[in-house]
Amino acid sequence: MAASEIFFGPFKVTTQIFYKTKLSMAIVNIKPILPGHVLVCPIRAVARYKDMTGEEIADHALTVQKVANVIESVYGTTGATIAIQDGGSAGQSVPHVHTHIIPRKLNDFPSIDDVYARLEGPDGNVGRFLEIQRQRKAVEEQKKDFVVESMNRPPRTMEEMEAETKLLAAELEKETGSKL
């Protein structure tokens, strides 16, 4: 892993990166909607898709294609929801462009489009969850009481995310021939 820290918006994700190019990175998700739900982001912290360079967009798209192929293979799925929520009004919870890759099987949700409601609801609002966690740590350091709002899905541990990172990095290395 690179010595320098890498961020997804304000959140350090250095150990959650399982694939990286010169301009893009793929990271595991702290609160996946379905197993294998990952994110592809530009390395440069850019909030909106319209602000990415042409080179970043091309690299990002090729990275999404490569990662989606491997994710479907690893998780034994037959499709993927590939989605970008571009800006807060579109449901983007972290101000850093990111593409959700959610491996899908037939009938994994009651309705095919239920995945979008999950992305926009409390389960999908990872930015809010991480901000609450940061606030909680700050308050705990000050030895004050603080009530954290309940979120429907519990977050995964760092150990769980790092285990998935290793698995996916190995699979992408097989696919691409390049090591992270």
Report the greatest alpha carbon distance in the chain.
Answer: 50
Angle between helices 54-75 and 158-176 (to 10 degrees): 100
16 is in an annotated binding site: no
Is residue 135 a known part of a binding site? no
Q: Is 93 annotated as a binding residue?
A: yes
The reply, when asked if residue 88 is annotated as ligand binding, is: no
Known active-site residue 37: no
100 in a labelled binding site: yes
Q: Are 30 and 10 in contact (CB under 8 A)?
A: no
**133 in a labelled binding site:** no
Instruction: Quote the CA–CA distance of 125 and 100 in Å, as a whole number.
Output: 12
Task: Please tell me whether 150 is known to bind a ligand.
Answer: no
* Catalytically annotated residue among 37, 60, 96, 98: 98
Q: DSSP for 70-139?
A: HHHHHHT-SEEEEEE--SGGGT--SSS--EEEEEE-TTSSSSTTHHHHHHHSTTT-HHHHHHHHHHHHHH
The tokens for 154 are: 């519990």
Binding residues, by number, are 29, 85, 91-94, 100
Binding residues for substrate, by number, are 29, 85, 91-94, 100
Question: Any idea which residues carry the catalytic annotation?
Answer: 98
